Amino acid sequence: MFASILMLLGGLALLAYASDQFVIGAARVALLSKVAPLVVGIVVVGFGTSAPEMLVSVLAAVGDNPEVAVGNVVGSNLVNLTVILGIGALLCPMVVQSQVVRREAPMVVAATILFAVTVQDGFTRIEGIILLVAMAAALTVVLLGSRQGGAADPLGPETVELTDPSHHRMGPEVVRTLIGLIGTVGGAQLLLSGALDLADRAGLGEGFVGATLVAIGTSLPELVTVVQSARRGETDLIVGNLLGSNLFNALAVAGLAATIAPATLVDATNLTTVATGAALVVAIAAWVTMRTGNLVSRREGMALIAVYLPAVPFLT
């Protein structure tokens, strides 16, 4: 038991640090390569923070733990748009000005619906491919939409401010990115191994562990980015990061896991219906809060955090 706890805590610490270094390094490499800041904000920061979810869900699926893979996707999406968005709002009430971010919100709702439909009774390879195609289509729509307004969209300047590429050189940032990626892989494996062993010893369901312990662990990079951004008042980057992460989780992470290791989910009704339903409700609620004056207030942030705890018992 003690060894499992050490693996879990070590995995969490390594995952939080290494994945942050991976995202920052990759963003700086892209910016130093003259990639448009808005594109870097959408793709590298928005989707890059989901690297732990992707690694953990794929490892779980390949290791014949499909409930952990699905629970990680559902739980991470719940945590992102309740606890982490709520913490961001408490630190810095978030005015959402970016047109790209506003477009992403309904796409996240649509992606959550597609994920909820395909996950019933498990994933087939065809369903995985459908999710991946949907991810490619969503990314295309977001990138094409980013051309409208371009430099005027605040997400681009906020990305540059967060990563500060002008004071860094390409070589060290490439090394940072590679080391961060290796550390993220190691942290994901430690987290998964420790969590599965604890679940077995405590008699907890794999789906519950995936949707809680594992999901919170893989969402730490989003939390790190949110805290860093909130200190600078980069509110569009906060919301864009969380929406981008949820979009990537529902389509790319789930799609990749299903394509590589399709599986049937047995006795996981709560996970595939109640938990996915909760994720959909939260996605809609987050969208509504962004539409009310384009602001996520501190009061709304407290409400989002309060929603998460009552939802936990239904993630079994």
The Cα–Cα gap between 119 and 257 comes to 11
H or E stretch covering 266: none
pLDDT for the residue 152: 67
pLDDT for the residue 300: 81
- Residue 305 and residue 83 in contact, taking contact as beta carbons nearer than 8 Å: yes
Q: Which two tokens stand for residue 302?
A: 């407290």
pLDDT for the residue 96: 76
* φ, ψ at 204 (rounded to 5°): -90, 150
Burial string for 7-19 (b: 16+ CB within 10 Å, else e) reads: bbeebbebbbbbb
pLDDT for the residue 12: 87
Nearest to residue 238, comparing CAs of 275, 187, 289, 188?
Answer: 289
- Residue 309 and residue 65 in contact, taking contact as beta carbons nearer than 8 Å: no
Domains of the chain (ranges; CATH) run 38-155+203-315 (1.20.1420.30)
316 residues of the chain, pLDDT tens digit each: 777 788 888 888 898 889 889 988 888 888 888 888 888 887 888 788 888 889 899 999 898 888 888 989 998 999 998 899 888 888 888 777 777 777 788 899 999 999 999 998 888 999 999 999 999 999 888 887 767 655 567 777 878 877 777 777 888 899 999 999 999 999 888 888 888 888 777 777 777 888 888 888 888 888 888 888 888 787 888 888 888 889 999 999 999 999 999 988 877 777 888 888 888 998 888 788 777 667 777 888 888 888 888 777 766 6
pLDDT for the residue 308: 85
Secondary structure in 3-state letters for 95-136: ECCCHHHHHHHHHHHHHHHHHHHHCCCEECHHHHHHHHHHHH
pLDDT for the residue 150: 57
pLDDT for the residue 148: 65
pLDDT for the residue 234: 79
Q: Which two tokens stand for residue 280?
A: 């959909």
Q: Please report, in angstroms and rounded to a whole number, the separation of the first and last CA atoms in the chain.
A: 22
Q: What type of residue is 197?
A: D
In the chain, how long is the greatest CA-to-CA distance?
A: 54
The Cα–Cα gap between 17 and 180 comes to 8
- Residue 290 and residue 296 in contact, taking contact as beta carbons nearer than 8 Å: yes
